Structure 1
Amino acid sequence: MTEDEKKARIAELNDELRTHRSQRNGKIIVTGALIEDIHDGARMARILDAIRDFSDFNEDNDPHGEHDYGRVTVDGEEFMFKFDYYALNEEHLSEHPEDPNATIRVMSVLYASDY
């Protein structure tokens, strides 16, 4: 697999988790101050819906073409999502983030101000 093919596969897997909210070896976590708002299911649904619908990937926010980061505004507040890739033991980074059988894909969701 070429580097461009790997990047395209990573973007495809990231989009799958971001838009479908499920994937083998995929997790969505809420971090930072947003944890305090986790009990507001309707608000969390609006945030996740905005992330699902995000499609403004460009050279500025996606320089590697992996769809691994983005920002959305919900209820006047800015949130971000970012992806990290771990080995199956979750102790080290994955050496092959393009391979869903060798990678735990984690999408973190947080207030942009927490980053």
Structure 2
Amino acid sequence: MDRTERIAELNDRRRRDHSYGKVVITRGIQALGHQAVMEVLTAVAAFSDFTPDNDPYGEHDCAVMTVGDHRVIWKIDYYDPDLNFASDDPANPAVTIRVLTIMLADEY
């Protein structure tokens, strides 16, 4: 597996397993209520429609999607273990904390 494939695999795991890394949901997502938040989290975890247009680097690190009546953006950022700086190597989970941020498109 090459570096890009490893990063994509780790990002896919991050989206599906909320105990792996951190999740940040914005106030706009929170304001939708518990049921809608759960629907958004489920939709983000299930997303698999990656194409060269929406995933040009093949890392599965960002997407825009519709969940119910809402346009949602999610993205994954890579930090050092202390969450102070960017990770030196996003392909290495030992030195990288992945932060999944989920927001409404109009919050961007």
The answer to whether the superposition gives a TM-score over 0.5 is yes
State percent identity of aligned pairs: 38
Unaligned runs of at least 5 residues, structure 1: none
- Deviation for aligned residue 1:22: 2.5
Aligned equivalent of 2:17: 20
How many angstroms does 1:71 deviate by? 1.8
Distance in 1 between the 2:57 and 2:2 partners?
12
Aligned length: 108
TM-score, with length taken from structure 1: 0.86
Residue from 74, 80, 86 that aligns with 1:87: 80
Any gaps of 5 or more consecutive residues in structure 2? none
Asked if the contact 1:81/1:109 (under 8 Å) is kept, the reply is: yes
Q: Give the AA of the match of 2:36.
A: R
User: How much has 1:32 moved relative to structure 2?
Assistant: 5.0
Distance 1:32 1:108 in 2: 11
Question: Which of residues 22, 29, 32 is equivalent to 2:24?
Answer: 29
CA distance in 2, matches of 1:32, 1:84: 19
Preserved contact between residue 62 and residue 75 of structure 2 (Cα < 8 Å): yes
RMSD in angstroms over aligned alpha carbons?
1.5
Residue in structure 1 matched with residue 54 of structure 2 by the alignment: 61
* 1:35 positional shift: 3.8
- Confirm or deny: 8 A CA contact 2:29 2:37 kept in the other structure: no
Work out the CA distance in 2 between the residues paired with 1:58 and 1:102.
28
User: 2 CA distance for matches of 1:108 and 1:93?
Assistant: 15
d(CA) in 1 for partners of 2:64 and 2:29?
14
3-state DSSP of counterpart to 1:11:
helix
**Where does residue 100 of structure 1 map in the other structure?**
93
The residue aligned with 1:78 is 71
